[in-house]
Amino acid sequence: MPRIQLYEYAPTRSVRCRWTLAEAGLEYESLGNARDVFGSDELRSIQPLGKLPAAVIDGRPLFESAAICTAIADLVPGRELVGPPGSWSRALHDQWVSFGLTEMECWLWSTELNTFDFSLSDEERVPEVARPNRVLFRRSAAVLDAVLADADYLVDDRFTVTDIIVGHIVDWARSDGVLGGFEHLEAYLARLRAREHCALS
């Protein structure tokens, strides 16, 4: 069994990693699960910006939640949580994860940073970006909603780690109140929440 150490903090994107580990059936050591780990020298030795989550897998450091989740899925090929490297299923995984991060999550994160996150000072925040961010998020969410009108899941129409990553983004939008009207995304979240190991809030 691989040795996995996860630097995490409950409300962060660590949720994705914990859920993937549960679906993979892998044990791990939880490290730092407190706000004081942010920016620590120990964390910066793994994640240069001192952000969570970060992981050490068999002694090798890795950061960015999507990369960590995909690496975990690759550790248990028998569970079919991600297509093998070089397969079309893997290409679709990369496509939808990239779409989720660059066309959806970025707008949610920008709003959070500029309205209530502690990463910026009051002088640095620009709360007015929340309105265009909402417009841009919903434009991309409409694309995903249309795809999920004809499929239960994003890759091969079965649950994979792709759905953990993208589903977390969709749930983030729900909690921020910007998901209204996308019935297929709401149904998608309901399917994800029905899973035994779902870690969504």
Give pLDDT, residue 142: 98
The answer, yes or no, to whether residue 165 has pLDDT greater than 90, is: yes
Q: How far apart are CA 6 and CA 28, in angstroms?
A: 7
136-146 average pLDDT score: 98
CB 52 within 8 A of CB 14: yes
Q: What does pTM read for this prediction?
A: 0.95
Give pLDDT, residue 98: 98
140-159 average pLDDT score: 98
CB 30 within 8 A of CB 82: no
List the domains of the chain with CATH numbers.
Answer: 4-79 (3.40.30.10), 88-193 (1.20.1050.10)
Amino acid at residue number 90? R
In this structure, what are the phi and psi dihedrals at residue 151, rounded to the nearest 5 degrees?
-150, 150
Residue range 45-57, pLDDT digits in tens: 999 999 999 999 9
The answer, yes or no, to whether residue 80 has pLDDT greater than 90, is: yes
Give pLDDT, residue 34: 67
Residue range 85-123, pLDDT digits in tens: 999 999 999 999 999 999 999 999 999 999 987 788 888
The answer, yes or no, to whether residue 63 has pLDDT greater than 80, is: yes
Give pLDDT, residue 91: 98
- 186 is written with which tokens? 């709401």
Hunting for tokens 């679906």 — which residue is that?
A: 23
Half-sphere exposure of residue 128, counting CA atoms within 13 Å on the CB side? Answer: 1
Give pLDDT, residue 26: 98
